[in-house]
Amino acid sequence: MGFWNKLKNEFIDIVEWEGSSDDTIVWKFERYQNEIKNGAQLTVRESQTAVFVNEGQLADVFPPGRYELTTNNLPILTTLKGWKYGFNSPFKAEVYFINMAKFTSQKWGTPNVFYLRDADFGRVSIRAFGTYTMRVMDPAKFLKEVSGTNADFTADDIKNELRSLIVTRFISAIGESGIPLLDMAQNYKNISEFCQKKLGEEFTEYGLEITKFLISSISLPEALQAKLDEGTGMNMLGDMNKYQQMKAADAMQAAANNKSAGGGMEGMMGMAMMQQMMNQQQMNQNQNQNQNQNFPPPPPMMQFYVSVNGQQQGPFNADQLRNLIAQGQLTRQTFVWKQGMASWMAAEQVSDVAMMFGAVPPPPPPM
């Protein structure tokens, strides 16, 4: 190495970080075997903070601006170095630049399903995903508690720990909220704000601030989702016959697709069977109409669905409900639902079912 190159590497007169990576939180100013010149220029750009460290001890912190490094603006480092009357020679100190900008679109999600006890469906397994935004609030604390002496610390280096923290607090918040499973989608905003408030205290311990917390989705088990979709379809149609016709049409369409995909004879047989079922159903409806022309229609049959261990069972007529009560499978606290009800309700709150409990005799006394 030539004399001038060696001299250039020994004395640094400009200390700055251009901040080339959006993912970097902390960047250490490189000064391998170099010394910072007395009176050197320190440039701290917007959304940056510079922290001087002397032999592992935090010293002076500089917000955005341009500075000349002297004993006047390095009071802590001056004390640590023992510069009582100023200094003229170069000095050594570690300089860390902290990125104070917001780190957006940080992803979080539950790695496994977790269980929630719901009033309508009982014990249900769900998963959740979303994003959050964070930024460094206390550079000195973050440097001391998190990044340490790492020369290049990124958001990726802490994402796993933060994600575990978020998932833990999110599950607790969901349990505390008491929001029914069917109402969660319309309460994403309230749940997000509640979780952000809970997480704020935890992030502060890292010198961080969580500025936004969002829930992208809360997914249900496939079997439960299929039941809900089926129930929604029935409610939209409002007529069991129409619902059965719709299901038959879906089956015919599936059979047709099977035929086009190479199903051949099986697809054709499926279509023929579905067509025969629809014809038979139409004949039954015509016969019923002819028979009912001269007779009053029968009274409507009361049919209820029952929630058993979070799964929908039924429908059951009045006699079947009495049998369930007698067997102890249907209690006053069991949730029931029938067409026309806005939501599931405890059996004791539905008059048609509540009156059945008094009509069922108790079990006979033991011999």
What is the per-residue pLDDT across 35-52, written as a single tens digit (0 to 9) for each? Answer: 888 889 999 999 999 999
Q: What angle do CA 85, 87, 93 make, to 5 degrees?
A: 120
Chain centroid, CA 190 distance in Å: 13
Burial of 15 (0-12, 13-18, 19+ CB in 10 A): buried
Handedness of CA 62, 65, 69, 71 (dihedral sign): negative
Q: For residues 137 and 119, give the distance between their C-alpha atoms in angstroms, rounded to a whole number.
A: 41
In this prediction, residues 22-26 reach a mean pLDDT of 90
Report the 10 Å Cβ neighbour count for 321.
Answer: 24
All domains of the chain in start order, with CATH: 3-99 (no CATH), 103-220 (3.30.479.30), 223-274 (no CATH), 304-359 (3.30.1490)
pLDDT digits (tens, 9 = 90+) for 60-74: 999 999 999 988 889
Examine the pLDDT at 14 and tell me if it is beyond 60: yes
For the chain, the distance separating the N- and C-terminal CA atoms, rounded to the nearest angstrom, is 108
DSSP 72: T
pLDDT of res. 206: 93
